[in-house]
Structure formats: C-alpha cells, structure tokens
C-alpha cells in the first residue's frame, strides 16, 4: 500500500486512519443511501476492520438491511457528517463514505448496487457492473 487512507467528518471531531487497501469500492442507489447522502446514491469504500483506527465519538443509528440484520451508520454529533458504517452480517468489515476521505480522488467505484431504486437523474458510469439489489457475497 502506498499510504494510509485517512479522513473524517467535516468539523474534524471524528478521524480515521486505515492501513490497508479497500476490499471493494461501490456506489449504492438504495433509498437509505439516497436519504442519507441527499443525492441519488452513496459512495463507499469497504475495508477489513482490522486495519482501521477511529478517534472521536460518533453517534450511531441502526437500521435493518435486506438480510434482516442491523446496519449501523455513524455520523458526527457536532456537524452531522455521515462518516462510516458497520454491518452485522459482515462484522469483519468497515465501510467509509467516499466524501469523508481526506483525498476523495482515491475513490474509484467498481460496481453499483440497488439500481432497482435508482433515480433517472442519477447518472452512473455505464461501464460499471450493476446489480438490481445486493450482489451475492
């Protein structure tokens, strides 16, 4: 790896450093990601949890995913920025929002999930593999 992935919330109260490469980089067009991002999709990098260090206290809220298990989204209680997510179905991964990276240019989407919920005005890269829902794990 060339350098760690670093980032955090808008006000700097929550910071993370990740010492490994992402497992996958994805755009998700589900309604939950649309609502959280305020746009047509959420952009995420998924990392092995073992390489992640987080400082600062996030506020967490749970929602139930298609698996029936909790997805825990974390945001800054001061500035409200969404920063990361963990999922009960895969406790060994840690998902960060691409916009929370100090260098968001490192984000390179590899696929798009939940296109069944996509909005016509949300233009995604037509060359990316797409899945109507979550792809098989």
94-110 pLDDT tens trace: 999 999 999 999 999 99
* CATH ID of 5-117, from 2.170.150.70, 2.40.50.140, 3.30.1390.10, 1.20.1250.20: 2.170.150.70
List Cβ neighbours of 70 (8 Å cut-off, separation of 6 or more).
Answer: 62, 63, 64, 87, 88
Dmax (CA) of the chain: 38
CA 67 to chain centre: 17
Question: Has this prediction a pTM greater than 0.85?
Answer: yes
Q: Which strands sit side by side in the sheet containing 70-75, from one edge to the other?
A: 59-64, 70-75, 82-87, 93-97, 42-48, 24-28, 111-113
Which residues are registered as beta bridge partners of 16? Answer: 7, 54
Predicted pLDDT at 1:
53
22-32 pLDDT tens trace: 999 999 998 88
With a cut of 70, say whether residue 137 has pLDDT above it.
no
The beta strand positions in the chain, using DSSP E, are 5-8, 15-18, 24-28, 42-48, 52-55, 59-64, 70-75, 82-87, 93-97, 111-113
Residue 14 — pLDDT band, cuts 50, 70, 90?
A: very high
With a cut of 90, say whether residue 59 has pLDDT above it.
yes
């Amino acid at each position: 790896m060339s350098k760690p992935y670093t980032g955090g919330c808008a006000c700097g109260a929550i910071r993370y450093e990740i010492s490994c490469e992402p497992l996958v980089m994805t755009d998700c067009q589900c309604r939950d990601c649309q609502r959280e991002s305020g746009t047509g999709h959420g952009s995420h990098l998924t990392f092995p949890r073992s390489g992640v260090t987080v400082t600062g206290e996030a506020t967490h809220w749970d929602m139930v995913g298609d698996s029936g298990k909790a997805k825990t989204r974390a945001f800054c209680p001061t500035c409200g920025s969404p920063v990361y997510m963990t999922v009960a179905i895969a406790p060994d991964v840690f998902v960060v929002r691409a916009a929370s990276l100090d260098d968001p240019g490192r984000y390179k989407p590899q696929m798009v999930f939940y296109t069944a919920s996509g909005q016509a005005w949300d233009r995604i890269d037509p060359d990316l593999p797409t899945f109507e829902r979550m792809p098989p794990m």
